[in-house]
Structure 1
């Protein structure tokens, strides 16, 4: 699970420079996943 989190971070940063909107959408989609991992 940790590996997946790292991958998402890289993608977010990569798209952050090109498309800020897409980053927000991706973050929102993975937001619930991150919360679940943190709670665990």
Structure 2
């Protein structure tokens, strides 16, 4: 799981990241979905 200002969804896809988020709030939501605890 990666993200933040300098990272793009395209780059996350290219390196095979499990998830991408633009900010910390969305990262928490994504982590919960990935862990099935949302």
TM-score after normalising by structure 2? 0.39
Is the radius of gyration larger for structure 1 or structure 2?
1
TM-score after normalising by structure 1? 0.37
Which protein is richer in strand relative to its size? 2
Which protein is richer in helix relative to its size? 1
